[in-house]
Copies of this chain bind each other. A is one copy, B any other.
């Protein structure tokens, strides 16, 4: 297997598409695969706390249900303030030294500080808002938080069950259990909870602003989450790509085309088409393959793989099968027919250029002949480590201008850089050690292709950051969202989830 992958790595340059620009491909040394075998399994003994959790499990499930029954739909401003106050009051009930709402330009945040007088401080990112629901699509009412049977065991069904109230309140149950048995926590806690995650976190930076000096004193950040797939497998994700997201809009104007409304399609013989103009503008951004980005200097900033990353890629490759990913996504062939390490390379290091949506003119059934006066596309580009989002946007704008598309408007909706945590960070080592204690051989993914604004933690506050948690849930942003609380096999139930959080706090403190 390894030999084959090494060969593939050597073949990489040949796989890149020819053209004006070449997609960046870096040789990946696969000879030194990272393995969690060398990370010591966490061995601390917290039997009394664990026993407390087992004894209190019914109350702990009820605490999750209490959070899930409190609506907090940020998009509709339903129950948001009530939920924020519930979170704050829960912090107070746990004995936090500070527990307060944080005013922002949008829904309030919640700040909590638990002062254990400990040497180390763990920052916890939380979100207390949820997505909207269509209740008629649910088999149990979305805010009833009833216990239902699922293939993996018994679960709570509710909006927010796994995204993210279940894992977060499970974390607080763990905190409560330590306090009940040991009297104090092994680490200090700084918790920032926002009520606008589902809106794209537009005001979360304001919460960081408020406590920035304090937060810089933390030693790491976790985001409590359901980290197990249905087979029980966990993974540690060390990074995310950045993203820029913008709309391109072409309208008739001084350059030509109808300016006020669509006109009869027959006038295309004498009038320019904003739709064709947008099509040309988008088309100019990529080569004939639809993948190679032709924007001048776009690939310049991409930071090549570090030795640690190459080792992580080599290790991750041994546990991954890109053919299974293709099958899961319904893709018959990756770009250029690539496989194996090349796929992983591009997920991590390739800046992408994507059209998320496009619309103009008549989109109904049959024949309607119009020359539309405007056309719009939504586009995004994922940025690997090293690329600056504002620079990337400026290069795209410059490309459009130099290609004669000065009149095509560019409206930026999101822009933030990638985020990266080192596997050597003590928080990460602690997390792996705890996972191993629960029978896991967690995959370690150097960076996923998706984006999240984790740069706030890693780049701005300079802290290592990982999502963490045993447990399984699904249905985020969909009907019938569930969070498993009692396992019939592969995945952890709530008691085990909470025990792992207990262990993580102690492991992080001891490191």
Contact = CB atoms under 8 A, between A and B. Distances in A.
A207 interface: no
Interface stretch (A58-66, A92-100, A309-317, A345-353): A345-353
Contacts of A283: 276, 279-280, 282-283
A346 B352 CA distance: 41
A357 B357 CA distance: 13
A362 B356 contact: yes
A291 B274 CA distance: 11
A334 B256 CA distance: 6
Contacts of A362: 356-357, 378
Given A269-B346, A270-B347, A361 B352 contact: no
A254 interface: yes
A339 to B, nearest CB: 10
Interface stretch (A115-123, A444-452, A464-472): A444-452
B357 A378 contact: no
Contact of A451 (B257, B266, B330): B266
Chain multiplicity (copies): 2
Contacts of A252: 330-332
A372 interface: yes
A407 to B, nearest CB: 11
Interface string A293-329: 0000000000000000000000000000000000001
Interface string A340-382: 0001001100111111111111110011111111011010101
A277 B256 contact: no
A333 B290 contact: no
Given A356-B372, A358-B358, A361-B356, A382 B269 contact: yes
A305 to B, nearest CB: 15
Contact of A333 (B256, B350, B359): B256
Contacts of A354: 265, 268, 273, 276, 369, 371
A267 to B, nearest CB: 6
Q: Would you call the interface of chain A mostly helix, strand, loop, or mixed?
A: mixed
Contacts of A392: none
B331 A271 contact: yes
A264 B477 CA distance: 13
A254 B333 contact: yes
Given A254-B332, A260-B330, A357-B363, A280 B271 contact: no
A361 B356 CA distance: 6
Interface in A227-274: 241, 243, 245, 252-261, 263-273
Contact of A245 (B289, B331, B335, B367): B367
A353 B335 CA distance: 31
A43 interface: no
A338 B404 CA distance: 19
Contacts of A338: 270
A360 B360 CA distance: 10
Contacts of A291: 272-273, 276
A103 interface: no
A96 B286 CA distance: 66
A267 B355 contact: no
A272 B357 contact: no
Interface string A450-482: 110000000000000000000000000000000
A414 interface: yes
A467 B346 CA distance: 62
Of A260, A273, A343, A376, most buried by chain B (CB within 10 Å of CB) is A273
A350 to B, nearest CB: 4
26 contacts: A200-B366, A253-B332, A254-B333, A258-B330, A265-B354, A265-B356, A265-B382, A266-B449, A266-B450, A267-B449, A268-B352, A269-B350, A269-B382, A270-B335, A270-B343, A272-B333, A273-B290, A276-B283, A276-B354, A276-B355, A358-B358, A358-B360, A358-B361, A359-B359, A362-B378, A367-B378
Interface of A: 200, 241, 243, 245, 252-261, 263-273, 275-277, 279-280, 282-283, 286, 288-291, 329-335, 338, 343, 346-347, 350-363, 366-373, 375-376, 378, 380, 382, 404, 413-414, 448-451
